[in-house]
Amino acid sequence: MTKNVTVEKSKTSKIHDVDFDNLSFGSVYTDHMLVCDYVDGAWQTPKVIPYQPISLDPSAKIFHYGQSIFEGMKAYKDENGKAWLFRPLENFKRFNKSAKRLAIPELPESHFMDGLTTLLQVEKDWIPQNPGSSLYVRPFILASGNGFHASPADEYKFIIACAPSGAYFSGKVKVLIEEKYSRAANGGVGYAKAGGNYAGQFYPTQLAVEKGYQQVIWTDDNTHEYIEEAGAMNIFVRINDTLITGPTSDRILDGITRKSILQIAEDQGIATEVRKITVSEVVEAAKNGSLKEMFGAGTAAVVSPIAAFGYQGTDYELPELEQSYASQLKQYITDIQNNRIEDKFDWRYPVD
Ligand code: PLP
Ligand code: COI
């Protein structure tokens, strides 16, 4: 077992109550969790303990000022039963970028990596082996320190919880290109995985869901003329044979799947462009038939083809291609994640 992490094993297990052949996304949790407190100006020793509720004072700042951040990762099990993570150091770096922006004390790398790997070693039996399933891993930090004063807390909790999970989306994905609301603004927190970024999306997304869409595609807050990203994934469009995604900025999450997909596409000889995408060019391309594909990319979403998008009251259907970039790229990235092919980019990270 890794050093500097204590382990208290649960006396019982819920694993036999779980139907691993019919997993939804993120709704059943494993037997253990990692907890690490920030008190007296320092992150303390991380502990693996039985999964349990946490107790917080009603004046804890998380409740009042939303000081919280999170990450999303997955653990995979290959056909020999060996467990893997995908580029976990990228999640660690982004976690600390988010922490800095939310005035949360940054976490030492060893607390994150040793805590993560120790927890996953304890929970190894929970990592699904069936295709399309994985163990979704959710590291997060919340402000546990008390006070109604609107200033950063003096105490925090870093927790990792895990949920064996299947696909994030069920069925075809239809998205609405947003014309009124915004997810993020220049100088804001859009690039951070701050809890409040997601809360702020719920209402406009509810309105979209009522109209039959699953996700909103956010546009820039200033003009609503440029495509930014979706609620839980970065967006790619294919116009003719070129795969295009918008540049990251302080409004857009620097997705690990996004940059991996770009690298794989380039390696496979697919023409790629990272540039601003206007809504009008996508609508025009949909009308003239040059818009071949749209898909989202993210840890939870993996690579999710978009079947149709709505804009200004009109729905535009995407063609169903027999050989799409989305399926080619999804196959390759999941083959790397599940140790089915050589890892030429050095992205796999052994858990055990
Ligand atoms: N954009 C948003 C808003 C997200 O929540 C996510 C998910 O983490 C992504 C993009 C994709 O990022 P990643 O590929 O690192 O999971
Ligand atoms: C992820 O893809 O891991 C995310 O964090 C997105 C989340 C909204 C499910």
Domain boundaries along the sequence of the chain? 6-165, 173-337
Helix (H, G, I), strand (E, B) or coil at 48: strand
Return d(Cα 16, Cα 60) in angstroms, integer.
Answer: 36
CA 157–ligand 2 middle distance (angstroms):
20
Return d(Cα 49, Cα 33) in angstroms, integer.
Answer: 6
Backbone region of residue 104 per phi and psi (left: phi > 0; alpha: psi in -120 to 50; beta: other values): beta
Pocket test for ligand 1, best of 92, 95, 233 (most atoms within 8 A of CB): 233
DSSP tag of 301: T
> Taking Cα atoms as reference points, which of 248, 223, 265, 247 lies closest to residue 97?
248
The total number of residues written for the chain in this structure: 352
Q: Which CATH class is domain 6-165?
A: alpha beta
> Taking Cα atoms as reference points, which of 292, 328, 287, 347 lies closest to residue 311?
287
Answer whether 6-165 and 173-337 agree in fold: no
User: Which atom of ligand 2 sits closest to the CA of residue 74?
Assistant: 3
CA 257–ligand 1 middle distance (angstroms):
8
Pocket test for ligand 2, best of 94, 135, 160, 168 (most atoms within 8 A of CB): 168
Please report, in tens digits, the pLDDT of each residue of the chain (352 residues total).
Answer: 446 999 999 999 999 999 999 999 999 999 999 999 999 999 999 999 999 999 999 999 999 999 999 999 999 999 999 999 999 999 999 999 999 999 999 999 999 999 999 999 999 999 999 989 999 999 999 999 999 999 999 999 999 999 999 999 988 899 999 999 999 999 999 999 999 999 999 999 999 999 999 999 999 999 999 999 999 999 999 999 999 999 999 999 999 999 999 999 999 999 999 999 999 999 999 999 999 999 999 999 999 999 999 999 999 999 999 999 999 999 999 999 999 999 999 999 999 8
Pocket test for ligand 1, best of 95, 168, 257, 264 (most atoms within 8 A of CB): 257
> Is the shortest distance between the CB of 296 and ligand 2 below 6 Å?
no
Q: Which residue blocks in the chain are alpha helix, DSSP H?
A: 61-65, 88-101, 109-122, 195-210, 256-267, 279-288, 325-337
Return d(Cα 166, Cα 301) in angstroms, integer.
Answer: 10
In the chain, at which residue ranges do the beta strands (DSSP E only) sit?
A: 6-7, 32-39, 42-43, 47-50, 68-70, 73-77, 83-86, 134-143, 156-165, 173-177, 215-219, 227-230, 234-239, 242-245, 271-274, 291-298, 302-311, 314-317, 348-350
State the complex-level ipTM: 0.99
> Is the shortest distance between the CB of 300 and ligand 2 below 6 Å?
yes
Which CATH number does 173-337 carry? 3.20.10.10
